[in-house]
């Protein structure tokens, strides 16, 4: 059954944001990035180009990295959305990727960082042992005007190695 969305009208939507159910009203043309920031106050998600080029607005939708400026808020209805706020633990402790970014000075102004972290979080789960070339190819979808990418690449490779090591330790037989 199709639903007709009337321009100018507001529509009730409900989705899970960072593990918590939320409801809100959105105009049909409102971008998900704007809804997250302005309606929900999830300002960790940044907005740069607003046409899918810079990657700053990247979030995860049902576990997949997505540009939130290329998605309408009404399309989030019934989905699971994760923003950068979801990466740290309950007590605010940084995850392995965030710690590696801090250690390797992988950010300066930080404008691009939330989007890069959300893409890397998804990409490293699928590519746990990446080589530098494929990592740089993935990062070419994110514009960073400050760092020259060297620290970001180092941090991502370091975090990937740490996460692999953690999994090996968990899988190792106890003697």
Q: How far is the CB of 149 from ligand FES (least distance, A)?
A: 9
- Give the footprint of ligand FES on residues 1-30 (CB under 6 A): none
Comparing CB distances to ligand FES, the nearer of 95 and 108 is 108
Kindly write out the interface string for residues 101-140 of this chain, putting x where it contacts ligand FES by CB under 6 A and - elsewhere: ------xxxxxxx---------------------------
- Output phi, psi for 57, to 5 deg: -90, 10
Q: Which helix (H) or strand (E) holds 139?
A: helix 132-139
| Residues within window 141-170 making contact with ligand FES, judged by CB under 6 A | 144-147
**Single residue of 13, 17, 26, 47 touching ligand FES by CB under 6 A:** 47
Considering the complex, state which of residue 129 and residue 137 has its C-beta at the smaller distance from ligand FES: 137
Q: Determine contact, residues 134/79, Cβ cutoff 8 Å.
A: no
Contacts 24+ apart (CB under 8 A), 123-131: 123/65, 124/97, 124/156, 124/159, 124/160, 124/163, 127/160, 128/160, 128/163, 128/164, 128/167, 129/160, 129/164, 130/156, 130/157, 130/160
Minimum distance of ligand FES from residue 143's CB (angstroms):
7
In the range 55-94, which residues lie near ligand FES by CB under 6 A? 55-57, 67, 69
Q: At 170, is the secondary structure helix, strand, or coil?
A: helix
CA angle 168–90–46, rounded 5-degree value: 95
Decide whether 14 or 109 has the Cβ nearer to ligand FES. Answer: 109
Chain contacts with ligand FES (rule: CB under 6 A): 47-50, 52-57, 67, 69, 107-113, 144-147
């Amino acid at each position: 059954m199709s639903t007709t969305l009337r321009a100018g009208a507001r529509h009730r939507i409900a989705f899970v944001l960072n593990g918590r159910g939320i409801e809100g009203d959105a105009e049909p043309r409102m971008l998900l990035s704007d809804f997250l920031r302005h309606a929900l106050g999830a300002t960790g998600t940044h907005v740069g180009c607003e046409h899918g080029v810079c990657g700053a607005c990247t979030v995860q939708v049902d576990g997949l990295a997505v540009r939130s400026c290329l998605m309408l808020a009404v399309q989030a209805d019934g989905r699971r959305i994760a923003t950068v706020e979801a990466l740290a633990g309950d007590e605010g402790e940084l995850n392995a990727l965030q710690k590696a970014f801090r250690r390797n000075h992988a950010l300066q102004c930080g404008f691009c960082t939330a989007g890069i972290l959300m893409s890397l979080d998804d990409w490293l789960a699928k590519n746990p042992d990446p080589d530098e070339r494929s990592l740089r190819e993935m990062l070419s979808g994110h514009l960073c005007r400050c760092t020259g990418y060297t620290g970001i690449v180092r941090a991502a490779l370091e975090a990937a190695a740490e996460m692999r090591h953690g999994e090996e330790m968990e899988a190792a037989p106890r003697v």
